[in-house]
Amino acid sequence: MQLELGNILVKDVQFGDKTEFKNGIVYVNGEELLDNIKDDRLAKMEVHIVHPGDDVRICPVKDVLEPRVKVEGGGQVFPGIFGNAEMVGSGKTNVLKGMTVLTVGKIVGFQEGIIDMSGPGAEYTPFSQTINLVILCDKVEGLPQHEHEEAVRLAGLKATRYIAEIAKNVTPDETFTFETKPLTEQLSQYPDLPKVAYVYMLQTQGLMHDTYLYGLDVKKILPTFLYPTEVMDGAIISGNCVSACDKNATYHHLNNPVIADLFVRHGKDLNFIGVVVTNENVTLLDKERSSNFTAKLVDSLKVDGVIISEEGFGNPDADLIMNCKKIEALGIKTVLVTDEYAGRDGASQSLADANPLANAVVSGGNANAIIELPSMSKVIGYIEASKIIAGGFDGALKEDGSITVEIQAITGATNELGFNRMGALEF
């Protein structure tokens, strides 16, 4: 499949009488937007615009999305959500680059996150660097949590689709072409280069730990093969409520840096064969089944190496290690991308499971590290959530509005695709 992504560089996002793109600025008619995303399950919705450097805290954050729209080729971005499950990943797609649609609301109350647009917390989230169209959603009284999650998820997707339509007839500022040939052709294209595949683990551990593939809950699939360009066209969306630091928001899926970096090196020092999507499970039987199928599928691709990325921590560490050791047993080298929960002093065991074959590991950082977040002049959402979200604790919120939390509470802080702002220095 060949996909051309056309980036339209967004200079600013402002409210206006008409939703349109003009002179580098996205103008949004707020009332029209809210009318397009209304849901009887949501009692109140507000829309805000925030910019990098603003003295603003957003909490509790549910999802982050990026407006993309099909210009040529089949299907629609986010296939399977709005009644069309055609294959995506080919043709032309335009992207409003530099902005997001960001949803906020109390879902489960302890697995959403914080985004600070300035101050020390801003250094830990990539979404302090984007212009964010923030949609705050409050549920009607008595609505079950899983329906609340669905209503907010759909509000974000509808808002993103609504905004993206204005990019359909805009000439992009820059274009990038990505191609993965049919499998038999791709395997033989660069005979002298090592063949590499990507095993993409998705969070699916029970109710409200959901990720969707072409609109289908990934808990219901066996591991399957995807062209990487399908991911860029919204084939995978987030619906899960897990710790904010290593949750893959929909924006992360659309901009997966593992896929991007493999494409950069494709045809130069490796042959990027494609993506194997798998799930993370609750029971031992389900873990064994999925890891067996993952290893079988990887073996059938006849690759030399595999990158495996995790989503979440603790229980999913077992899925990660199972995938690693079963693929390594086939003589295929693995590199794991994860994060760590090594205690606030960094002295504890980083993962809940381990194996000597997992000897090439990239870390997104220690989620238990403590950070002091100063008060902000404006809060969008409900700051009291900081006392109970993962990484927070009783006493985390001070009277002056400042917060002491683990970086686990910051959206994207230790992202396990490597989409974060931390790194390491060698001296």
In the chain, what is the straight-line distance between the N-terminal and C-terminal CA atoms, in Å? Answer: 43
Q: Which of 305, 371, 360, 306 lies closest to 338, judged by CA?
A: 360
- CA–chain centroid gap for 344, Å, is 25
Residue 72: Cβ within 10 Å count: 10
Strand (E) or helix (H) holding 145: helix 145-164
Active-site annotation holds for 324 = no
Quickly tell me which residue has 């959403």 as its tokens: 112
Going from the C-alpha of 282 to that of each of 97, 286, 318, 347, 382, the distances in angstroms are 37, 7, 10, 27, 31
Three-state secondary structure readout of 330-358: CCCEEEEEEEECCCCCCCCCCCCCCCCCC
Which one of the listed residues 137, 241, 245, 324 is annotated catalytic? 241
Pair type for strands 333-340 and 305-309: parallel
Using DSSP's 3-state secondary structure scheme, residue 80 falls into coil
- Tell me the DSSP string of 284-335: HHHHHHHHHHHHHHHHHTT-SEEEEE--SSSHHHHHHHHHHHHHHTTT-EEE
DSSP letter at 218 equals: G
Q: What residues contact residue 397 under an 8 Å CB cut-off, 6+ apart?
A: 383, 384, 386, 387, 403
Provide the token pair at 232.
């860029």
**Catalytic residues, which ones?**
241
